[in-house]
Amino acid sequence: MVQFTGQLNNAFSALADDTRRGVLQRLGKREASITELAGDFDMTLTGMKKHVQVLEDAGLVVTEKVGRVRTCRLGTRKLHEEQAWIAQYQAMLEARYDRLEDFLERTRGGDE
Partner DNA sequence: GGTAAACTGAACCATATGGTTCAGTATTGC
Partner DNA sequence: GCAATACTGAACCATATGGTTCAGTTTACC
**Chain residues that interact with DNA, rule: CB under 7 A:** 13, 16-17, 19, 33-35, 38, 43-47, 49-51, 54, 65-71
Q: How far apart are CA 93 and CA 98, in angstroms?
A: 9
According to CB under 8 A, which one of 35, 53, 64, 93 is a site residue for a second copy?
93
The contacts of residue 13 (CB under 8 Å, 6+ apart) are 54, 58
Kindly state whether residue 41 participates in binding a second copy, applying the rule CB under 8 A. no
Among 1, 2, 28, 109, binds a second copy (CB under 8 A): 28
Stretch that binds a second copy, among 40-48, 49-57, 64-72, 78-86 (CB under 8 A): 78-86
